[in-house]
Amino acid sequence: MDASARIEAVYADVLRRNPGEEEFHQAVHEVLHSLGPVLSKRPEYAEAKLVERLVEPERQLMFRVPWTDDKGEVHVNRGYRVEFSSALGPYKGGLRFVPHLALGTVKFLAFEQIFKNALTGLGIGGGKGGADFDPKGRSDAEVMRFCQSFMTELYRHLGEHTDVPAGDINVGTREIGFLFGQYKRLTNRYEAGVLTGKGTGWGGSQARTEATGYGTVHFVQEMLATRGEELAGRRVVLSGSGNVSLFAIEKAQALGAHVVACSDSSGYVVDERGLDLDLLKEIKLERRARLDTYAEARPAAEFSSRGSVYDVACDIALPCATQNELTEKHAVGLVKNGVKAVAEGANMPCTPPAVEVFRDAGVLYGPGKAANAGGVATSALEMRQNAAREIWGFEETEGRLAAVMRDIHTECVTAAEEYGAPDDYVLGANVAGFLRVADAMQAQGLV
């Protein structure tokens, strides 16, 4: 069987064995269709059926999470953890608490995490998890009770050498604190390295909160440099207004970019003078308010609940909200308005047709598994500090983050050129990540 036929057979089997999990199908399809040249060049990978093994999680956990609200009413949610690959190290990936979270979404995120983590070169495997719980509008006591119930089941599968979760959407320092406290209570161990994203006063890393956004901007810098360009003076638009977006704005502004628009679930705001980051942080992190509040405080800014933030003309677009948010229609509009580079701060925010539009137009496109790897890279650096009982300063940690992002960019470019697709960061990221995992799987035997 030639490489192309093998890949099609593997993908058909994924569809058969994982019905209805469209996001997982999408993530697998993207990776598999980058690997044809690798399997042709390295037939031993095909003989060992590494791809067939890699698309099947090592372990999938799904469990009941019962808890009581402040009125004493009982609620039952569902928790998930997909431990996809430990070939390079302990499973590593965030937990997200969002309504309607389903297994297929967690699997897509965990599968992406395999390659993202491999690209960092920091010895971590791929996993992801979460629950269909919404902490918004809940008291601290309610969130604490939910986190304690969640960890009461999950703790038996965790450990600093086994599985190390972090935060993700709606799981920040507060939630990590509650989760860690319950883990410590249940195990009778102060195992600091079992969770990352901790408070800096009790084992957390400086620059972890900023890392994903900062790292995405560092990756954009590296992409632009391949064409002799830089970020300074460029007009930037972002989706989202959470941690990733806020700190991408912060780093882009620090490097001289003109950031004019961002969004949330209610709409988007455009400020031609440049977004006021201090005001944005106050509104989103302290008041937890909607973006129309920003426009009320800045009369020259305009808020819209119609259309898309991608309707705003820009040189650089950074989708930082959620999966499949940037469609083919958005991509066509961005290209028409002169976009030069797109880098994913979120996981798989661009639909496949949108990616094809960018490729056909010659737009620099950085996929999430490469562009937003700064968050998990800094989580791995937090694990390193915990293991050594060390505390690094902000500048040292950010310096290491910047170096990791440069290395990831170099790996993507090198792999793309070696396998006949110069400037294709999708193929480059997939191939570079796969090669690192595949070699480890070969060395460890049939497990």
Give the model confidence (pLDDT) of 102-150 as tens digits. Answer: 999 999 999 999 999 999 999 999 999 999 999 989 999 999 999 999 9
**What is the pLDDT, as a whole number, of residue 268?**
98
Residue 179, burial from CB neighbour count under 10 angstroms (0-12, 13-18, 19+): buried
Query: Does 113 appear as a known binding residue?
Result: yes
**pLDDT 10s digits, 349-360:** 999 999 999 999
**pTM given for the model:** 0.94
Q: How many other C-beta atoms lie within 10 A of the C-beta of residue 343? A: 29
Q: At what angle do helices 352-361 and 22-32 cross, to 10 degrees?
A: 30
pLDDT of residue 1: 77
Contact 113, 99 (CB under 8 A): no
For the segment 390-408, the average pLDDT, to the nearest whole number, is 96
Instruction: Check whether 304 is labelled as a binding-site residue.
Output: no
What's the CA angle centered on 153, arms 151 and 155, to 5 degrees?
60
CA dist., res. 202 & res. 292, Å (int): 36
Query: Domain segments of the chain: what residues?
Result: 3-54, 59-190, 213-371
Give the integer Cα–Cα distance in Å for 176 and 93: 13
What contacts 19, CB < 8 A, 6 or more positions away?
Answer: none
Does residue 81 sit in helix, strand or coil? strand
- Helix (H, G, I), strand (E, B), or coil: what is residue 396? helix
Specify the pLDDT at position 226.
Answer: 97
Residue 148 counted as an annotated binding residue: no
Per-residue model confidence (pLDDT) at position 158: 98
* CA dihedral sign of residues 414, 417, 418, 421: positive
Phi/psi at 153 (nearest 5 deg)?
Answer: -90, -45
> Does 379 carry a binding-site annotation?
yes
Instruction: Give the pLDDT confidence score for residue 58 in this predicted structure.
Output: 98
C-alpha radius of gyration, the chain, whole number: 21
**Cα–Cα dist 50/442, whole Å:** 8
Distance separating alpha carbons of residues 92 and 129, to the nearest angstrom = 10
pLDDT at residue 436 is higher than 80: yes
Across the range 296-310, mean pLDDT stands at 95
Q: What is the pLDDT of residue 288?
A: 85
Say whether 188 counts as a known binding-site residue.
no
Catalytic site positions: 128
Tell whether the model's pLDDT for residue 324 goes beyond 80.
Answer: yes
Which superfamily is assigned to 213-371 in CATH? NAD(P)-binding Rossmann-like Domain (3.40.50.720)
Backbone dihedral angles phi then psi of residue 39, each to the nearest 5 degrees: -65, -30
What does the mean pLDDT of the chain come to?
A: 96
- CB contact at 8 A, 216 and 318: yes
Q: Give the chain's end-to-end CA distance (angstroms, integer).
A: 24
| Mean predicted confidence (pLDDT) in 204-213 | 95
CB-neighbour burial class of residue 278 (10 A; exposed 0-12, middle 13-18, buried 19+): exposed
Amino acid at 163: D
Cβ atoms 315, 340 nearer than 8 A? yes
Average pLDDT over residues 41-48: 95
Q: Could you please report the per-residue DSSP string of 46-91?
A: HHTTHHHHHTS-SEEEEEEEEEE-TT--EEEEEEEEEEEE-SSSSE
The answer to the question of whether 243 is labelled as a binding residue is yes
- Tokens, residue 143: 């969130």
For domain 59-190, the CATH architecture is 3-Layer(aba) Sandwich (3.40)
Q: Within 155-207, where are the H helices?
A: 173-187
Which pLDDT does position 112 carry in this prediction?
A: 97
Select from 76, 88, 174, 170 the least CA-distant residue to 125: 88
Q: Are 132 and 77 in contact (CB under 8 A)?
A: yes
Arithmetic mean of pLDDT, 229-235:
97
Instruction: Quote the CA–CA distance of 153 and 165 in Å, as a whole number.
Output: 14
DSSP reduced 3-state for 231? coil
Helix axes 352-361, 328-336, angle to 10 degrees: 20
Q: Reduced to 3 states, what is the DSSP secondary structure of residue 365?
A: strand
Any binding-site annotation on 167? yes
Question: pLDDT for 170-194, tens place per residue?
Answer: 999 999 999 999 999 999 999 999 9
Same fold, 59-190 and 213-371: yes
